[in-house]
Structure 1
Amino acid sequence: MATLTAWKFGTWDGANQAIGTLEALSKQGLIKLHDAASVSWQPETRRPRTRQLRNFTGVGALGGMFWGMLFGMIFLMPLAGAAIGAASGALAGSLADVGIDDDFIKAARDQITPGTSALFLMSSDAVRDKIKETFDATGLQKPQLIQSNLSTEQEEALREMFAG
C-alpha cells in the first residue's frame, strides 16, 4: 500500500536541503520512493516554486500531471476564485475518489505558507520514526508530517487516472 505524505519544513529551502537525506534513506531501505516533488516558498513571493524531484520510471511513477494537479488544488485554487469553481469541484472529487481527501488538501494549504517548504512523497515501506529522526538530526527545524494513506485500489485508480 502506498502512502502520500508531505513533510513540511520551517524554512523555505528546508525541503531542498532534505532531498539528499531522503535519497540516503531510500538507499538504506528505510523508504521505497515511487514518486516525489518539492515545494519551496520564499517569504516575499506570492506562490511557491514546485518541482518533481526526479523522473521516476516504472509502475510507481505518477508524473508531472499528478503533481501539477495536486499543487494546483493546494496552492492555486484558493486564489482562482469562482470562475473555475465547478472544474475545481470535479477535480477535488476525483482526488477524493483515490484517497486524497479535503483534509489532506486543507492541512497542506494551512501549513505550507510563505517562508516554509515541503517534500511530497508517494512511497511505501517507510520506517517513519527513523525518517523523522534522521530529518530532525539534520537541523531542519523538526519537519512536520502531513499524511494520507492510500489503499491498493486507490493507488491503482490514481495511476490509471494519470496513465499516458
Structure 2
Amino acid sequence: MSTLVAIGYPDETTATAASLEADRLSKDLIIQPDAIAVIIRDREGKFHVTTNHHAVAGGTTWGMFWGLLFGMLFFIPVLGMAIGAGLGALTGKLTKNAISKEFQDRIREELQPGTSALFLVVEAVTPDKAVEALSRYGGTVIKSSLSKEAEADLQEALHGGAQQ
C-alpha cells in the first residue's frame, strides 16, 4: 500500500526547499523519485507545478498522475495532456477509489493564494520516515492511503493496460 502525502506551507518557497530534501530521501529509497511534486499558488491565485524540478509534461506516467490530480483538486487544466478514453478512466479512478473526499477538501482549503504544497507518494512502510525527515520545514500534513486495489487500478489506467 502507498500513501499520498501532501504537506502545505504558508508561503510560496518552502515546498520547493522541502522537495530538495524529498529528492535526497528518494536516493535512500524512502520515496520513489518520480513521485514528488510541488505546487505553488502565487499571490494572484495562479498555480505553478513542478515534478522532480522539471515542469510537468505529458507523456510520462507520473506527470500524467500529477496533472490529473492537480486538475481534479484545483480545477486547473490537465497540463499538456490530450483528452481521451484513458484520461477519463484515470480521472474516474482518482475520484472514485484512490483519493478521499476529505483529502481533496483539506488540500483545497490548505492551498490558498501565496502558499505552496509538497506532494509525495510513499510506500506504506516509509511514510513516517519521510514525514519525520521533512518535519524541520513545518507545514500541515495531509495523508491519504491508496489501497493495493486502488494502486493497481491507477497503474493500469496510467499504463493503458499495455506493457511499455
TM range (shorter): 0.7 to 0.9
Matched, 1:152 2:151: no
Contact 2:90 2:158 in 1 (8 A): no
Matched, 1:103 2:102: yes
Structure 2, unmatched stretches of 5+, are 55-59, 77-88
How far apart are the structure 1 equivalents of 2:90 and 2:19?
Answer: 29
Partner residue, 1:53:
52
Query: TM-score scaled by structure 2?
Result: 0.74
How far apart are the structure 2 equivalents of 1:107 and 1:74?
Answer: 10
Q: CA deviation at 1:97?
A: 3.0
The one of 133, 140, 143 equivalent to 2:139 is: 143
Contact 1:26 1:32 in 2 (8 A): yes
User: Which letter does structure 2 place at the counterpart of 1:8?
Assistant: G
Alignment CA distance shift 1:99-1:144 (3 Å): same
Q: CA deviation at 1:93?
A: 4.6
Percent identity (aligned): 33
How far apart are the structure 1 equivalents of 2:2 and 2:146?
Answer: 6
User: Which letter does structure 2 place at the counterpart of 1:136?
Assistant: S
Structure 1, unmatched stretches of 5+, are 56-60, 78-89
Structure 2 counterpart SS, 1:113: coil
How far apart are the structure 2 equivalents of 1:93 and 1:102?
Answer: 13
Partner residue, 2:15:
15
Alignment CA distance shift 1:63-1:28 (3 Å): closer
Query: TM-score scaled by structure 1?
Result: 0.74
User: Quick check: which one's strand share is greater?
Assistant: 2
